């Protein structure tokens, strides 16, 4: 709300003066300025009227019989409590000592008698401006508190010493403790694995964390935690938002069990169907009508594709459940990559794409890995790169090492990945083009499985846009030195 459009009419001014003529003059002047006016002729009645009417501003004569202005100002401030009610004292006395005494008693400003209307108008306008801002701030604070208290997520505020300075009702329910019990406690007592990480230095780099919270009673509860920091009065605070994900995890587990059961039930008949189709295409069934051969090949191809998808689903569920079995052995990095590229040459040729391996690593450089799973990761990345590359282009596979890790980059020269899709890139069943008319097939499981496999092998996978055009996927795995 602009300052030149303040709602002065809603503010009430209490005028206190023992001289009737002066009191009437002040009341008329204040009323003409657009304020509501109430008046009292001495200190005792002024205090009673203040309690009853709750005025916003007080104009107070300093010299009155009975309670003088200083005493009345002191009592008004006591009655107002935390609410700020500005008190302007008025005096016709010479000297400054009595005005200083009034200010020490709690008065906020002063005017000399006889009062100059323009000065009074200016002072009232300035006070009204501050009061309206104060009301707006109080309303905003009230809304913020209402949002916080009614949030379904638990909210904690930590001081710079990592102790709990504030919490909402949802946090009380999550922690199974009253607010008074939790205030001042160290957050490590309930979140022992909380990681501030880069958020200590760059708040925008804070990320969601999957943790377990330890309530004061009962078992630990899985939560998703968001962390950021803010500053107030030069002091740093931490804002933690915790969401109980126990129900989500329960549903996910049921979903995984359902998919695993369904996949197992599908795999057995599919294997039997594929075996039967293979037999029908073998020489011993040469008497089968030649016109049926294309149909048998199509059925075989689609059944194999379906079995591949079922196996992917099983792999994804095993990896998510931590039940993936790995056969870790030392292998030459150069030989492994050479085999992977060789295996995918036919797939690349299908799309008119060339594969190029850049690996100047000595054959004695070994990596302890599961050969089949390593090949699965690389084949997923290479097949995707070939699929989305223009014809007659090249897909590069570039290998290098650091002091502790093997780094493999698969780079294509396709159209790249839309920026808004990148956060969902490694989620299962997601594809950049999920429409019914998309050009390329696939289940949307390849990258999700690759990420799970990399994690199981102690490594990671990441994406970035290539410098010129296309995409770069980087696999990082620990390596074991030289054989």
248-320 classified as CATH 3.50.50.60: no
Residue 170 has pLDDT above 90, yes or no: yes
The one-character DSSP state at 482 is B
Strand-pairing partners, residue 110, are 89
Residue 1 has pLDDT above 80, yes or no: no
Residue by residue, DSSP assigns 280-313 as: HTSGGGTTS-GGGHHHHHHHHHHHHHHHHHHHHH
Assess contact for 99 and 91: CB atoms under 8 A: yes
**pLDDT band at residue 325 using 50, 70 and 90 as cut-offs:** confident
Residue 218 has pLDDT above 70, yes or no: yes
| Mean per-residue pLDDT, 58-71 | 90
Assess contact for 242 and 225: CB atoms under 8 A: yes
Report the pLDDT value the prediction gives residue 205, as an integer from 0 to 100.
46
Residue 114, preceding peptide bond in cis (omega within 30° of 0) = yes
Whole-model pTM: value is 0.49
Please state, in angstroms and rounded to a whole number, the distance separating the CA atoms of residues 451 and 177: 39
Q: Residue for token digits 């809304």? A: 143
Q: What is the pLDDT of residues 283-316, one digit of tens each?
A: 776 666 777 777 777 777 777 767 777 777 777 7
**pLDDT band at residue 449 using 50, 70 and 90 as cut-offs:** confident
Class at the top of the CATH hierarchy for domain 154-244: alpha beta
Report the pLDDT value the prediction gives residue 6, as an integer from 0 to 100.
43
Residue 25 has pLDDT above 90, yes or no: yes
| Mean pLDDT lowest among 109-113, 235-239, 439-443 | 439-443
Assess contact for 165 and 183: CB atoms under 8 A: yes
- In terms of pLDDT, which residue wins out, 271 or 259? 271
Report the pLDDT value the prediction gives residue 360, as an integer from 0 to 100.
85
Class at the top of the CATH hierarchy for domain 328-478: alpha beta
Report the pLDDT value the prediction gives residue 112, as an integer from 0 to 100.
87
Report the pLDDT value the prediction gives residue 7, as an integer from 0 to 100.
45
Report the pLDDT value the prediction gives residue 236, as an integer from 0 to 100.
87
**pLDDT band at residue 480 using 50, 70 and 90 as cut-offs:** low
Residue 121 has pLDDT above 80, yes or no: yes
**pLDDT band at residue 207 using 50, 70 and 90 as cut-offs:** low
Helix (H) or strand (E) segment spanning residue 379: helix 371-387
Residue 326 has pLDDT above 70, yes or no: yes
| Mean per-residue pLDDT, 7-18 | 79
Report the pLDDT value the prediction gives residue 433, as an integer from 0 to 100.
57
20, two tokens: 């009737």
Using a 10 angstrom Cβ sphere, with 0-12 exposed, 13-18 middle and 19 or more buried, the burial of residue 177 is middle
Strand-pairing partners, residue 39, are 15
Please state, in angstroms and rounded to a whole number, the distance separating the CA atoms of residues 84 and 58: 11
Report the pLDDT value the prediction gives residue 428, as an integer from 0 to 100.
77
296, two tokens: 């048998």
SS3 label, residue 198: helix
Please state, in angstroms and rounded to a whole number, the distance separating the CA atoms of residues 395 and 477: 21
What mean pLDDT value characterizes the chain? 84
CB atoms within 10 A of CB 321: 12
Strands (E), 233-371: 235-244, 328-332, 354-358, 366-370
Percent of the chain with pLDDT over 90: 41
CATH superfamily of domain region 3-147: Response regulator (3.40.50.2300)
Q: Where are the domains of the chain?
A: 3-147, 154-244, 248-320, 328-478
310, two tokens: 């079922």
- In terms of pLDDT, which residue wins out, 145 or 368? 368
- In terms of pLDDT, which residue wins out, 57 or 435? 57
The answer to whether the 248-320 and 328-478 domains have the same CATH topology is no
Report the pLDDT value the prediction gives residue 324, as an integer from 0 to 100.
74
């Amino acid at each position: 709300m602009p300052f030149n459009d303040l709602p002065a009419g809603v503010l009430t001014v209490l005028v206190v003066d023992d001289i009737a003529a002066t009191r009437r003059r002040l009341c008329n002047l204040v009323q003409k300025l657009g304020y509501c006016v109430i008046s009292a002729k001495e200190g005792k009645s002024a205090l009673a009227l203040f309690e009853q009417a709750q005025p916003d501003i007080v104009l107070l004569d300093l010299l009155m019989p009975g309670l003088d202005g200083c005493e009345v100002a002191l009592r008004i401030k006591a009655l107002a409590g935390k609410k700020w009610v500005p008190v302007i004292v008025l005096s016709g006395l010479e000297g400054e000592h009595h005005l200083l005494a009034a200010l020490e008693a709690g008065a906020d400003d002063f005017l000399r008698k006889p009062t100059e209307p323009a000065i009074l108008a200016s002072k009232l306008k300035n006070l009204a401006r501050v009061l309206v801002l104060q009301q707006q701030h109080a309303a905003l604070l009230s809304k913020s508190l209402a949002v916080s208290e009614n949030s379904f997520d638990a909210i904690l505020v930590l001081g710079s010493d990592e102790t709990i300075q504030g919490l909402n009702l949802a946090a009380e329910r999550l922690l199974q403790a009253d607010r008074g019990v939790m205030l001042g406690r160290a957050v490590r007592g309930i979140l022992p694995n909380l990681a501030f990480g880069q958020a200590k230095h760059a708040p925008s780099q804070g990320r969601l964390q999957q943790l377990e919270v330890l309530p004061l009673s009962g078992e630990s509860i899985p939560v998703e935690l968001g962390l950021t920091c803010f500053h107030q009065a030069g002091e740093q605070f931490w804002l933690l938002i915790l969401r109980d994900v126990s129900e989500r995890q329960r549903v996910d587990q049921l979903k995984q069990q359902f998919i695993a059961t369904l996949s197992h039930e599908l795999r057995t008949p599919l294997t039997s169907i594929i075996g039967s189709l293979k037999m029908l295409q073998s020489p011993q069934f040469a008497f089968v009508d030649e016109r049926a051969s294309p149909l048998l090949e199509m059925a075989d191809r689609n059944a194999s594709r379906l079995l591949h998808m079922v196996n992917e689903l099983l792999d994804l569920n095993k990896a998510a459940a931590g039940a993936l079995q790995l056969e870790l052995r030392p292998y030459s990095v150069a030989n492994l990559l050479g085999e992977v590229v060789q295996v995918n040459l036919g797939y690349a040729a299908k799309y008119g794409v060339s594969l190029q391996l850049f690996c100047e690593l000595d054959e004695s450089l070994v990596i302890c890995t599961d050969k089949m799973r390593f090949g699965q990761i690389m084949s997923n990345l290479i097949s995707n790169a070939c699929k989305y590359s223009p014809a007659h282009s090249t897909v590069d596979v570039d290998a290098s090492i650091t002091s502790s890790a093997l780094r493999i980059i698969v780079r294509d020269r396709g159209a790249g990945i839309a920026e808004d899709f990148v956060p969902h890139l490694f989620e299962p069943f997601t594809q950049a083009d999920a429409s019914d008319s998309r050009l390329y097939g696939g289940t949307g499981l390849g990258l999700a499985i690759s990420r799970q496999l990399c994690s199981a092998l102690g490594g990671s996978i990441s994406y970035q846009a290539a410098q010129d055009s296309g995409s770069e996927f980087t696999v990082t795995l620990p390596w074991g030195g030289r054989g």
